[in-house]
Amino acid sequence: MIVFADGSPPMTPAGLLPAEQMILEKMSANPAVFRFASPSSLRFELRMRANILESAAALAQSGAQFSTFANSTCNPAYWTRSPKGAFELRPDVTPADAIRDIFRNGSLYSFECATAMVIVLYRAVIETLGDAVFNDRFANLVLYDWHYDRDLNLRRIDPASVLPGDVVYFSNPDVNPLTPWWIGENAVDMGNGLYFGHGVGVVPGDEIIRALNRNRVPFSTVSASLSDNVIAPDFRVMESWVNGYGMPQAASLGLPLSRTLMTVRIGEATELRFLPVAF
Protein backbone atom coordinates (compact mmCIF):
# COMPACT_ATOMS: atom_id res chain seq x y z
CA MET A 1 0.00 0.00 0.00
CA ILE A 2 1.24 3.50 -0.88
CA VAL A 3 0.56 6.54 1.31
CA PHE A 4 1.39 10.15 0.40
CA ALA A 5 1.98 12.67 3.20
CA ASP A 6 0.58 15.50 1.08
CA GLY A 7 -2.74 13.71 0.69
CA SER A 8 -2.35 13.04 -3.03
CA PRO A 9 -4.62 10.39 -4.55
CA PRO A 10 -3.17 7.04 -5.66
CA MET A 11 -0.78 7.26 -8.61
CA THR A 12 -1.94 5.85 -11.92
CA PRO A 13 0.44 4.04 -14.30
CA ALA A 14 -0.11 6.62 -17.05
CA GLY A 15 3.17 7.95 -18.37
CA LEU A 16 5.32 5.40 -16.55
CA LEU A 17 7.76 3.05 -18.25
CA PRO A 18 6.70 -0.64 -18.32
CA ALA A 19 9.19 -1.55 -15.59
CA GLU A 20 7.97 1.34 -13.47
CA GLN A 21 4.37 0.24 -13.95
CA MET A 22 5.27 -3.28 -12.81
CA ILE A 23 7.01 -1.97 -9.69
CA LEU A 24 4.11 0.37 -8.90
CA GLU A 25 1.64 -2.50 -9.21
CA LYS A 26 3.65 -4.69 -6.82
CA MET A 27 4.14 -1.84 -4.37
CA SER A 28 0.41 -1.05 -4.39
CA ALA A 29 -0.53 -4.71 -3.83
CA ASN A 30 2.01 -5.28 -1.05
CA PRO A 31 0.45 -5.33 2.46
CA ALA A 32 3.40 -3.29 3.77
CA VAL A 33 2.93 0.49 3.92
CA PHE A 34 5.24 2.51 1.67
CA ARG A 35 5.21 6.16 2.72
CA PHE A 36 6.20 9.00 0.39
CA ALA A 37 6.17 12.77 0.77
CA SER A 38 4.46 13.18 -2.61
CA PRO A 39 3.98 11.45 -5.97
CA SER A 40 7.23 13.01 -7.22
CA SER A 41 9.13 11.17 -4.50
CA LEU A 42 7.49 7.90 -5.55
CA ARG A 43 8.35 8.59 -9.19
CA PHE A 44 12.00 9.03 -8.23
CA GLU A 45 12.09 5.61 -6.54
CA LEU A 46 10.25 3.96 -9.42
CA ARG A 47 12.73 5.41 -11.91
CA MET A 48 15.77 4.28 -9.92
CA ARG A 49 14.36 0.81 -9.33
CA ALA A 50 13.66 0.51 -13.05
CA ASN A 51 17.27 1.54 -13.71
CA ILE A 52 18.48 -1.16 -11.31
CA LEU A 53 16.53 -3.75 -13.33
CA GLU A 54 17.85 -2.39 -16.62
CA SER A 55 21.42 -2.35 -15.29
CA ALA A 56 21.13 -5.94 -14.07
CA ALA A 57 19.88 -7.07 -17.48
CA ALA A 58 22.69 -5.12 -19.16
CA LEU A 59 25.36 -6.74 -16.98
CA ALA A 60 23.90 -10.16 -17.79
CA GLN A 61 24.42 -9.37 -21.49
CA SER A 62 27.79 -7.61 -21.14
CA GLY A 63 30.08 -10.61 -21.44
CA ALA A 64 31.52 -10.09 -17.95
CA GLN A 65 32.29 -13.45 -16.36
CA PHE A 66 32.24 -14.89 -12.87
CA SER A 67 35.57 -15.45 -11.12
CA THR A 68 36.97 -15.67 -7.61
CA PHE A 69 38.95 -12.75 -6.21
CA ALA A 70 42.20 -14.57 -6.99
CA ASN A 71 41.31 -14.75 -10.69
CA SER A 72 39.43 -11.48 -11.18
CA THR A 73 40.21 -9.36 -14.24
CA CYS A 74 39.51 -5.78 -15.31
CA ASN A 75 40.27 -3.28 -18.06
CA PRO A 76 43.61 -1.66 -17.13
CA ALA A 77 42.62 1.48 -19.03
CA TYR A 78 40.14 2.24 -16.23
CA TRP A 79 41.10 0.16 -13.21
CA THR A 80 44.19 -1.03 -11.37
CA ARG A 81 43.85 -4.55 -9.98
CA SER A 82 45.23 -4.96 -6.47
CA PRO A 83 46.98 -8.14 -5.28
CA LYS A 84 43.83 -9.20 -3.41
CA GLY A 85 41.72 -8.87 -6.56
CA ALA A 86 40.11 -5.47 -5.95
CA PHE A 87 39.59 -2.98 -8.79
CA GLU A 88 40.88 0.49 -7.92
CA LEU A 89 39.83 3.46 -10.04
CA ARG A 90 42.65 5.01 -12.08
CA PRO A 91 43.19 8.69 -11.24
CA ASP A 92 42.97 9.76 -14.89
CA VAL A 93 39.40 8.50 -15.54
CA THR A 94 36.01 9.44 -14.16
CA PRO A 95 34.00 7.04 -11.96
CA ALA A 96 31.01 7.12 -14.34
CA ASP A 97 33.14 6.26 -17.39
CA ALA A 98 34.85 3.44 -15.51
CA ILE A 99 31.55 1.86 -14.45
CA ARG A 100 30.15 2.18 -17.97
CA ASP A 101 33.24 0.45 -19.38
CA ILE A 102 32.30 -2.72 -17.51
CA PHE A 103 29.09 -2.84 -19.54
CA ARG A 104 30.75 -1.81 -22.82
CA ASN A 105 33.79 -4.09 -22.58
CA GLY A 106 32.51 -6.85 -20.38
CA SER A 107 34.75 -9.50 -21.93
CA LEU A 108 37.70 -7.82 -20.18
CA TYR A 109 36.13 -8.27 -16.75
CA SER A 110 35.55 -11.12 -14.33
CA PHE A 111 34.49 -10.86 -10.68
CA GLU A 112 32.27 -12.51 -8.08
CA CYS A 113 28.60 -11.87 -7.41
CA ALA A 114 28.81 -9.41 -4.52
CA THR A 115 30.93 -7.05 -6.63
CA ALA A 116 28.43 -7.51 -9.47
CA MET A 117 25.59 -6.27 -7.26
CA VAL A 118 27.52 -3.11 -6.36
CA ILE A 119 28.32 -2.49 -10.04
CA VAL A 120 24.63 -2.80 -10.95
CA LEU A 121 23.65 -0.32 -8.25
CA TYR A 122 26.37 2.15 -9.26
CA ARG A 123 25.18 2.13 -12.86
CA ALA A 124 21.59 2.68 -11.72
CA VAL A 125 22.72 5.78 -9.82
CA ILE A 126 24.46 7.08 -12.96
CA GLU A 127 21.38 6.47 -15.10
CA THR A 128 19.09 8.10 -12.55
CA LEU A 129 21.12 11.12 -11.42
CA GLY A 130 23.69 11.59 -14.19
CA ASP A 131 27.47 11.68 -14.48
CA ALA A 132 28.04 14.93 -12.58
CA VAL A 133 26.34 13.70 -9.39
CA PHE A 134 27.98 10.28 -9.58
CA ASN A 135 31.47 11.61 -10.27
CA ASP A 136 31.18 14.00 -7.33
CA ARG A 137 29.66 11.56 -4.87
CA PHE A 138 31.53 8.41 -5.85
CA ALA A 139 35.15 9.48 -6.40
CA ASN A 140 38.02 7.04 -5.72
CA LEU A 141 35.95 3.91 -6.33
CA VAL A 142 37.16 0.48 -5.26
CA LEU A 143 35.25 -2.57 -6.47
CA TYR A 144 35.72 -5.49 -4.11
CA ASP A 145 33.15 -7.79 -2.49
CA TRP A 146 30.60 -5.76 -0.46
CA HIS A 147 32.97 -2.81 -0.03
CA TYR A 148 31.27 0.27 -1.47
CA ASP A 149 31.24 4.03 -1.22
CA ARG A 150 29.17 5.15 1.77
CA ASP A 151 27.08 7.40 -0.50
CA LEU A 152 25.43 4.28 -1.92
CA ASN A 153 23.52 4.21 1.39
CA LEU A 154 22.59 0.54 1.35
CA ARG A 155 20.07 -0.56 3.96
CA ARG A 156 18.73 -3.86 5.14
CA ILE A 157 15.07 -4.31 4.16
CA ASP A 158 12.21 -6.16 5.78
CA PRO A 159 11.83 -9.29 3.59
CA ALA A 160 8.05 -8.98 3.84
CA SER A 161 8.20 -5.84 1.71
CA VAL A 162 10.71 -6.89 -0.95
CA LEU A 163 10.24 -5.21 -4.34
CA PRO A 164 11.81 -5.49 -7.79
CA GLY A 165 15.19 -3.76 -7.63
CA ASP A 166 16.02 -5.03 -4.14
CA VAL A 167 19.09 -7.25 -3.74
CA VAL A 168 18.36 -10.63 -2.18
CA TYR A 169 20.48 -13.57 -1.10
CA PHE A 170 20.06 -17.29 -1.79
CA SER A 171 21.85 -19.24 0.95
CA ASN A 172 23.47 -22.67 0.60
CA PRO A 173 24.26 -23.72 4.20
CA ASP A 174 25.64 -27.16 3.27
CA VAL A 175 28.01 -25.91 0.57
CA ASN A 176 30.72 -28.33 -0.48
CA PRO A 177 34.02 -27.06 0.95
CA LEU A 178 35.68 -27.92 -2.36
CA THR A 179 33.56 -25.22 -4.06
CA PRO A 180 33.15 -22.54 -1.36
CA TRP A 181 32.04 -19.90 -3.89
CA TRP A 182 28.73 -21.78 -4.09
CA ILE A 183 27.90 -20.77 -0.50
CA GLY A 184 25.14 -18.62 -1.92
CA GLU A 185 24.04 -16.23 -4.63
CA ASN A 186 23.55 -12.48 -4.38
CA ALA A 187 20.82 -11.53 -6.85
CA VAL A 188 18.65 -8.64 -8.00
CA ASP A 189 14.92 -9.27 -7.70
CA MET A 190 13.76 -8.64 -11.27
CA GLY A 191 10.05 -9.12 -10.50
CA ASN A 192 7.62 -11.90 -11.41
CA GLY A 193 9.79 -14.64 -9.92
CA LEU A 194 12.94 -13.78 -11.89
CA TYR A 195 16.36 -12.89 -10.45
CA PHE A 196 19.66 -11.72 -11.87
CA GLY A 197 22.66 -13.53 -10.42
CA HIS A 198 26.12 -12.89 -11.83
CA GLY A 199 27.24 -16.03 -13.61
CA VAL A 200 23.75 -17.51 -13.95
CA GLY A 201 21.95 -14.67 -15.71
CA VAL A 202 18.29 -13.68 -15.35
CA VAL A 203 16.51 -16.86 -14.27
CA PRO A 204 13.70 -18.09 -12.01
CA GLY A 205 14.60 -18.44 -8.35
CA ASP A 206 14.15 -22.21 -8.51
CA GLU A 207 16.96 -22.41 -11.05
CA ILE A 208 19.35 -20.62 -8.69
CA ILE A 209 18.38 -23.01 -5.89
CA ARG A 210 18.97 -26.03 -8.14
CA ALA A 211 22.41 -24.71 -9.10
CA LEU A 212 23.34 -24.23 -5.44
CA ASN A 213 21.99 -27.65 -4.47
CA ARG A 214 24.29 -29.28 -7.03
CA ASN A 215 27.19 -27.95 -4.96
CA ARG A 216 26.32 -29.22 -1.48
CA VAL A 217 28.29 -31.67 0.63
CA PRO A 218 27.57 -35.27 -0.41
CA PHE A 219 24.31 -36.67 0.93
CA SER A 220 23.12 -33.30 2.25
CA THR A 221 19.37 -33.02 2.78
CA VAL A 222 19.40 -29.28 3.54
CA SER A 223 18.29 -27.37 0.45
CA ALA A 224 19.52 -23.94 -0.55
CA SER A 225 16.82 -21.31 -0.16
CA LEU A 226 16.00 -17.64 -0.47
CA SER A 227 17.13 -16.03 2.78
CA ASP A 228 15.71 -13.09 4.72
CA ASN A 229 18.71 -10.91 3.80
CA VAL A 230 17.48 -8.10 1.54
CA ILE A 231 19.15 -4.76 0.85
CA ALA A 232 18.40 -1.66 -1.22
CA PRO A 233 19.75 1.89 -1.55
CA ASP A 234 18.14 4.58 0.57
CA PHE A 235 16.16 6.22 -2.23
CA ARG A 236 15.12 9.16 -0.05
CA VAL A 237 18.74 10.12 0.58
CA MET A 238 19.58 9.97 -3.11
CA GLU A 239 16.52 11.99 -4.00
CA SER A 240 17.69 14.67 -1.56
CA TRP A 241 20.85 15.18 -3.63
CA VAL A 242 18.86 16.49 -6.58
CA ASN A 243 18.65 20.16 -5.60
CA GLY A 244 22.37 20.52 -4.97
CA TYR A 245 23.21 19.77 -8.62
CA GLY A 246 20.82 22.11 -10.39
CA MET A 247 18.38 19.31 -11.11
CA PRO A 248 14.57 19.56 -10.90
CA GLN A 249 13.08 20.40 -7.52
CA ALA A 250 12.97 17.37 -5.22
CA ALA A 251 9.99 16.55 -3.05
CA SER A 252 10.20 17.43 0.64
CA LEU A 253 11.67 14.57 2.65
CA GLY A 254 11.91 13.49 6.25
CA LEU A 255 9.18 10.87 6.59
CA PRO A 256 10.18 7.67 8.36
CA LEU A 257 10.52 4.72 6.01
CA SER A 258 8.05 1.91 6.50
CA ARG A 259 10.68 -0.78 5.99
CA THR A 260 13.21 -2.04 8.54
CA LEU A 261 16.66 -0.58 7.86
CA MET A 262 20.17 -1.42 9.06
CA THR A 263 23.69 -0.55 7.97
CA VAL A 264 27.28 -0.88 9.16
CA ARG A 265 29.78 1.82 8.16
CA ILE A 266 33.55 1.60 8.20
CA GLY A 267 35.40 4.73 7.14
CA GLU A 268 34.89 5.74 3.52
CA ALA A 269 33.63 2.30 2.53
CA THR A 270 30.85 0.13 3.89
CA GLU A 271 30.67 -3.62 4.32
CA LEU A 272 27.49 -5.66 4.70
CA ARG A 273 28.74 -8.62 6.71
CA PHE A 274 25.43 -10.47 6.60
CA LEU A 275 25.86 -11.22 2.88
CA PRO A 276 28.70 -13.74 2.40
CA VAL A 277 30.78 -13.81 -0.75
CA ALA A 278 29.03 -16.12 -3.17
CA PHE A 279 28.89 -17.38 -6.74
pLDDT of 273 > 90? The answer is no
pLDDT of 264 > 90? The answer is no
pLDDT of 265 > 70? The answer is no
User: So what's the pLDDT on residue 244?
Assistant: 58
Residue 175 lies inside a defined structural domain of this protein: yes
Residue 192 lies inside a defined structural domain of this protein: yes
Phi-psi group of 42: left, alpha or beta (phi > 0 → left; psi -120 to 50 → alpha; rest → beta): alpha
- Full domain range(s) for residue 92: 2-270
Residue 6 lies inside a defined structural domain of this protein: yes
Helix (H, G, I), strand (E, B) or coil at 157: coil
Helix (H, G, I), strand (E, B) or coil at 216: strand
User: So what's the pLDDT on residue 242?
Assistant: 78
Beta-bridge partners for 154? 233
Mean pLDDT of the chain: 88
CB atoms within 10 A of CB 17: 14
Residue 101 lies inside a defined structural domain of this protein: yes
SS (H, E, C) 67-124: CCHHHCECCCCCEEECCCCCEEECCCCCHHHHHHHHHHCHHHCEECHHHHHHHHHHHH
pLDDT of 87 > 50? The answer is yes
Q: Once rounded to an integer, what is the mean pLDDT over residues 49-59?
A: 98
Residue 166 lies inside a defined structural domain of this protein: yes
Residue 277 lies inside a defined structural domain of this protein: no
CA 168/CA 151 separation, integer angstroms? 20
pLDDT of 274 > 50? The answer is no
pLDDT, one tens digit per residue, over 115-132 is: 999 999 999 999 999 999
pLDDT of 261 > 50? The answer is no
Residue 278 lies inside a defined structural domain of this protein: no
pLDDT, one tens digit per residue, over 173-204 is: 999 999 999 999 999 999 999 999 999 999 99
Query: Total domain count for the chain?
Result: 1
User: So what's the pLDDT on residue 147?
Assistant: 87
Residue 42 lies inside a defined structural domain of this protein: yes
